[in-house]
Amino acid sequence: MIDFNALKTRAAAAKPIVAQLEDSKRVPDFSIMQDGLLFDYSKTTIDRDSRDLLLGLLETAGVAAKRDAMFGGTAINETEGRAVLHTALRNLNAGPIVVDGEDIMPSILETLAAMEAFAADVRTGAYQGQGGTITDVINIGIGGSDLGPVMAVRALSPYHDGPRCHFVSNIDPGDVAEVLKNCDPIRTLVIVASKTFTTIETMTNARTVRDWMAKSVSDPAAQFAAISSDLDKTAEFGIAAERVFGFGNYVGGRYSVWGPIGLSVMLAVGAAHFRDFLAGGAAMDQHFRDAPWQENLPAMLALVGLWHSHACDYATRAVLPYDNRLGRLPAYFQQLEMESNGKGVSMDGAPLPFHSGAVVWGEPGTNGQHAFYQLIHQGTRVIPCEFMIAARAHEPDLQYQQELLIANCLAQSKALMEGRGMDVARKIAASKGFTGDECERQASHRVFQGNRPSVTLAYEMMTPFVLGQIIALYEHRVFVEGVVLGINSFDQWGVELGKELATGLEPVVTGRQSTDGQDASTTALVDFLRGKGA
Ligand code: F6P
């Protein structure tokens, strides 16, 4: 049974980070280098003893056995009776992986080859829309069928040499309308991406786009492709089997960018770069399986996370990529971490005796510095930060700007750690001409508490391989945290209630049903919105 009390005691008594860094061995000992990715967690309050306690959690929770069960195809998603094998999508040389008595690798490789052939046809113009070569691709999907592609296409834009990619996810009519404004139906390919092919947002948007296309294209279905694990439903929608790319139910939505859900990424950057992305993920898988825990990047990132969430009781953590093209990475990690580890009961159904996963949020730097970093530096809540930074820009002529970006990133983690005491603040206030009580008052506003933790991931350049490494790193980090917390990281029952109630409210909002039986607040809101146009 996991008990965080010893860790809480150690966290409360931990030496300040600045003092810990006086140990000349700390930086090499509290950082990990894996395949060009440097993970530095020396700017945390974790010391060697607390790290030993944290490592003990992995043993107590049986993480190694669970990890091997996951890679081996055991149905570790117990509430849905499913194996968890998104890793098989990228582990192309792994040999047979057997699920329910069947080797799943041949069909994964076959689907990858079909995606590659289709992507090549679209990119070269061998596949055409009614008006010729495809210039625009619209991916319609939501959650895991959107966030992975949208994040990766933007992250890899220096490699983008295929058609323009657009993403429609929200049921909000404004989302689809904005995208359609910029597309020519006769040269647009539409991908309907939905694991279940039932999600109301996706299916509604798919019908809207089909209607839009039907106004200009004689056979709109010929310009549609589908990605789903329900091939009957894609056929019902009218999409020809040769443009349907399936995947097994051993791939969860938020883990699905590695397979057919990544088709828009492949169309954007080409199959070779997509394979580099897979290779980055596979390299991280191998490292996760082989490296001893203390040198194991996903395991240590997870333990740092647990230290902050369950020993220090910090409720949230910020993901702060210093890379503008990683603008959707925090949202991607939000789904990955919060849909996976935001659970109220342990695997056996008993209420969790501690909090579930941390709240994850963030924005790219340096923009965030001019928005919410104020609270991170001086607010009363401590927010552990996860910085990401590349040494090299994709724009060699603008490398100086990259260096300014690096300086900013390093300055933030340093400022968080070192803070600024009252003595220095007093001198600053005095230098501005303040004296006496006013000097004290002004100085107190300029104090930074310091000792605020952060980790930094650094790499040479954001390439498809590095992106694959980072995504797989976070996937395994979430897995390890979930195993230690004793929860099922692979179901998402928490999204069901809202979906059910939305279905029930639809006839009320459209006026086909009265508000009888609704609560008073919902009734008043329906009345207001209906009065204003609903
Ligand atoms: O509502 C949550 C969810 O099921 C996510 O887990 C998933 O990524 C998303 O909806 C989309 O689901 P689908 O791919 O089946 O449309």
Interval between CA 326 and ligand 1 midpoint (Å):
22
CB atoms within 10 A of CB 497: 9
Kindly report the protein residue whose alpha carbon is nearest to atom 8 of ligand 1.
144
Catalytic residue (one of 201, 339, 363, 481): 339
Query: Do residues 385 and 318 make contact, with C-beta atoms less than 8 angstroms apart?
Result: yes
Query: Do residues 345 and 332 make contact, with C-beta atoms less than 8 angstroms apart?
Result: no
Q: Who's near 197: CB < 8 A, 6+ residues apart?
A: 203, 226, 228, 230, 233, 234, 237
Kindly report the protein residue whose alpha carbon is nearest to atom 16 of ligand 1.
194
Query: Do residues 319 and 362 make contact, with C-beta atoms less than 8 angstroms apart?
Result: yes
Ligand 1, from 147, 492, 493, 503: best to mutate by most atoms within 8 Å of Cβ? 492
Counting from 1 in the atom list of ligand 1, the atom nearest the Cα of 254 is 8
Planar angle of CA 382, 332, 371, nearest 5 degrees: 45
Interval between CA 487 and ligand 1 midpoint (Å):
20
The yes-or-no answer on residue 499 being catalytic is yes
Query: Do residues 57 and 306 make contact, with C-beta atoms less than 8 angstroms apart?
Result: yes
Q: How far apart (Å, rounded) are the C-alpha atoms in residues 197 and 175?
A: 19
Q: Residue 93: its pLDDT value, please?
A: 86
Catalytic residue (one of 15, 427, 432, 499): 499
The helix/strand/coil state of 484 is helix
Give the relative orientation of helices 297-306 and 464-485 as an angle to the nearest 10 degrees: 50
Q: Who's near 533: CB < 8 A, 6+ residues apart?
A: none
Residue closest to 142 by CA, chosen among 178, 194, 180, 188: 194
Q: Who's near 222: CB < 8 A, 6+ residues apart?
A: 130, 240
In 238-318, alpha helices (H): 263-269, 271-290, 297-306
Counting from 1 in the atom list of ligand 1, the atom nearest the Cα of 141 is 16
Interval between CA 219 and ligand 1 midpoint (Å):
29
DSSP 367: G
Q: Who's near 223: CB < 8 A, 6+ residues apart?
A: 129, 130, 185, 188, 189, 190, 213, 217
Q: How far apart (Å, rounded) are the C-alpha atoms in residues 315 and 235?
A: 45
Q: Residue 149: its pLDDT value, please?
A: 98
Burial 324-362, CB ≥16 within 10 A → b, else e: ebbbbbbbbbbbbbbbbbbbeebbeeeeeeeebbbbbbb
Q: Residue 229: its pLDDT value, please?
A: 83
Interval between CA 356 and ligand 1 midpoint (Å):
21
Counting from 1 in the atom list of ligand 1, the atom nearest the Cα of 495 is 1
Interval between CA 262 and ligand 1 midpoint (Å):
15
Catalytic residue (one of 370, 445, 500, 532): 370
Pocket residues: Cβ below 6 A from ligand 1: 142-145, 194-196, 199, 202, 253-254, 339, 492, 495
Beta pairing partners, 138? 166, 190
pLDDT tens-place values along the chain, 534 residues long: 789 999 999 999 999 999 999 999 999 999 999 999 999 999 999 999 999 999 999 999 999 999 999 999 999 999 999 999 999 999 888 789 999 899 999 999 999 999 999 999 999 999 999 999 999 999 999 999 999 999 999 999 999 999 999 999 999 999 999 999 999 999 999 999 998 999 999 999 999 999 999 999 999 999 999 999 888 999 999 999 999 999 999 999 999 999 999 999 999 999 999 999 999 999 999 999 999 999 999 999 999 999 999 999 999 999 999 999 999 999 999 999 999 999 999 999 999 999 999 999 999 999 999 999 999 999 999 999 999 999 999 999 999 999 999 999 999 999 999 999 999 999 999 999 999 999 999 999 999 999 999 999 999 999 999 999 999 999 999 999 999 999 999 999 999 999 999 999 999 999 999 999 999 999 999 999 999 887
ipTM for the whole complex = 0.97
Q: Which domains does the chain have, with CATH numbers?
A: 86-275 (3.40.50.10490), 496-531 (1.10.1390)
Query: Do residues 86 and 258 make contact, with C-beta atoms less than 8 angstroms apart?
Result: yes
